Amino acid sequence: MPFFDSAGIKIHYQDAGSGEAVMLVHGFASTAEHNWGGTGWIATLSEKYRVIAIDVRGHGLSDQPHSSEAYGYAGMGADVTRLMDHLGIERAVLIGYSMGASIAIELMLSHPERWRAIVLGGIAYDDGLEDKADRDAIAEAYRADDPATIKSPVAKAYRRFAESMPNDLKALAALIEAERSPFDPAKLAAVQTPVLIVVGTNDNAIGDPKPLAKIIPGARLVMLEGRDHMTAPADPRFKKAVLDFLRATPL
């Protein structure tokens, strides 16, 4: 299992296939294997591409610091570009889902020269966690000794999902408390990288994805009928949309 040191944080990643590099960044409280392995993405993409799936810091087999200063989209995004540097990859395709899509947007704005194309899955301009009160409730739920004491239904659902995998709840609490700001609409409107956005029609975990697709020049939006935030990643239509998009995007 390969690891590398990202400015003092040990990061785990999977590396499969050969060809043009595709960087995969998973969602909150998930892992590379859960988001991309078990759903067939690594197997499908590695038939044509070199697929590199990172365990985002705070998740999976990567280090899981308990300080909120260790997180934030810029810091988590830097792990991706440092991994590319570590592997000698100058430019790649970037695919992120949910939190991973937010990290991908950060990288799209901060390092546009590193990406041939970007796929944003399960994301909207309002990602569903813009309200600080909601984030505080979820962090409190992660730190609760007794889950029965959690009052917020949303926080209770986040706790259940986090506990379905070998997560460090204190690390996730620190991550969700990390400082975050909305992405600058002016910077999004200046994006020149080809972008595909894919969201389930029943995804109630985020806001309306249409404003995000409208503000990013040339962005294509694909809605997966009948899929929600949890079921969209495994949908074969998602993979087909991505493969079609990559074939149609100039190298």
169-184: string of b/e by CB count within 10 Å (b at 16+)? bbbbbbbbbbebeebe
Instruction: Give tens-digit pLDDT for 41-97.
Output: 999 999 999 999 999 999 999 999 999 999 999 999 999 999 999 999 999 999 999
Dist. CA 4–CA 142, nearest whole Å: 28
Q: What is the DSSP letter of 183?
A: P
What three-state secondary structure class fits 7? Answer: coil
Dist. CA 80–CA 205, nearest whole Å: 25
Q: Looking up tokens 């995969």, which residue turns up?
A: 24
* For residue 128, pLDDT beyond 70: no
- In this structure, is residue 157 part of a structural domain? no
> How many folded domains does the chain comprise?
1
- In this structure, is residue 149 part of a structural domain? no
- In this structure, is residue 167 part of a structural domain? no
Reported residue count of the chain is 251
- In this structure, is residue 139 part of a structural domain? no
Rounded average pLDDT over 124-137: 75
* Distances 1 to 54, 99, 133 between C-alpha atoms, Å: 12, 24, 38
- In this structure, is residue 58 part of a structural domain? yes
- In this structure, is residue 122 part of a structural domain? yes
Dist. CA 143–CA 127, nearest whole Å: 23
Rounded average pLDDT over 140-161: 91
The CATH number given to whatever domain includes residue 231 is 3.40.50.1820
Tell me what the pLDDT averaged over the chain comes to: 94
* For residue 129, pLDDT beyond 80: no
Q: According to the model, what pLDDT value does residue 210 have?
A: 96
What range defines the domain where residue 37 resides?
Answer: 3-126+184-248
Cα 43 from chain centre: 19
pTM: 0.96
* For residue 189, pLDDT beyond 60: yes
Rounded average pLDDT over 141-169: 91
Of the listed ranges 6-15, 85-94, 163-172, the least confidently predicted one is 163-172
- In this structure, is residue 172 part of a structural domain? no
208-219: string of b/e by CB count within 10 Å (b at 16+)? ebeebbebbeeb
Dist. CA 105–CA 118, nearest whole Å: 9
Say if residue 248 is exposed, middle or buried (CB neighbours under 10 Å; 0-12, 13-18, 19+): exposed
